[in-house]
Homo-oligomer: A and B are copies of this chain.
Amino acid sequence: MDAEPKNTGAKVEPWGDITPDAARRLVSAAVHAFAERGYHATTTRDIASRAGMSPAALYIHYKTKEELLYQISKVGHERALTIVERARDSAGTPAERLADAVRSFVRWHAEHHTTARVVQYELGALAEEHHAEVIAVRKATDGAVRSIIEDGVKAGVFDVPDVRGTTVAVLSLCIDVARWFNAAGRSTPDEVGDLYAGLVLRMVGAGGGQR
């Protein structure tokens, strides 16, 4: 069986393991184009020219433009799910695990905000079957965060009257980072991750450590 592609580094481009090279360039070009203008406003000619090839070359590697979006969306959602699952399954108190989940989830959305923007905001353009597949991954992500919060409530260290609603709020806060984050802006991904981890701990009544 295949060894897991080693992607232990933090800042690695999320498409390093796609082959052949031309296909990787196409995905990368599509990510940037979709993030800038949106899926529907992006033309296949635009993607191809960003990848340095003719319009027809796109169809050697991908059947349709939608399949490109599907590839991006699927891989991105799975990566996001992996991040929160790792935090959920790690050792530590519920507060530590929740802070870890938020910090790394936010950091990913900030660091890869181009990819994340496509992943989080363009999924409506997917074909119905692909859309359903991606929604299932999102539900799993929601479930992972909720289970951390439930653990904290059961342990008596979180004070959360509405677990379901609070889970939505926490995820919402993290996801929206992809919308507003700007690499040239004031904050680094690490800073936003730390800030948000603290804010979320306060939201669940686990104090920020502050005072």
| Chain B residues, CB < 8 A from A192 | 165
Sorting the interface of chain A by its residue count into under 10, 10 to 19, 20 to 34 or 35 or more gives: 35 or more
Can you sample 6 A-B contacts with CB below 8 Å?
A38-B38, A40-B41, A165-B192, A166-B195, A202-B202, A205-B211
Q: How many copies does the complex hold?
A: 2
Alpha-carbon separation in the docked complex, A13 to B131 (Å): 31
Alpha-carbon separation in the docked complex, A159 to B196 (Å): 15
Closest B residue to A203 by CB, please name it: B199
Are A199 and B161 CB-contacts (below 8 A) given A121-B121, A124-B37, A176-B176?
Answer: no
A172 touches B173 (CB 8 A): yes
| Chain B residues, CB < 8 A from A210 | 159, 161, 205
Q: Does A63 contact B (CB under 8 A)?
A: no
Alpha-carbon separation in the docked complex, A199 to B173 (Å): 12
Q: Does A169 contact B (CB under 8 A)?
A: yes
Alpha-carbon separation in the docked complex, A35 to B159 (Å): 36
Mask of A156-191 contacts with B, CB within 8 angstroms, 1/0: 000101101110110011011101100000110001
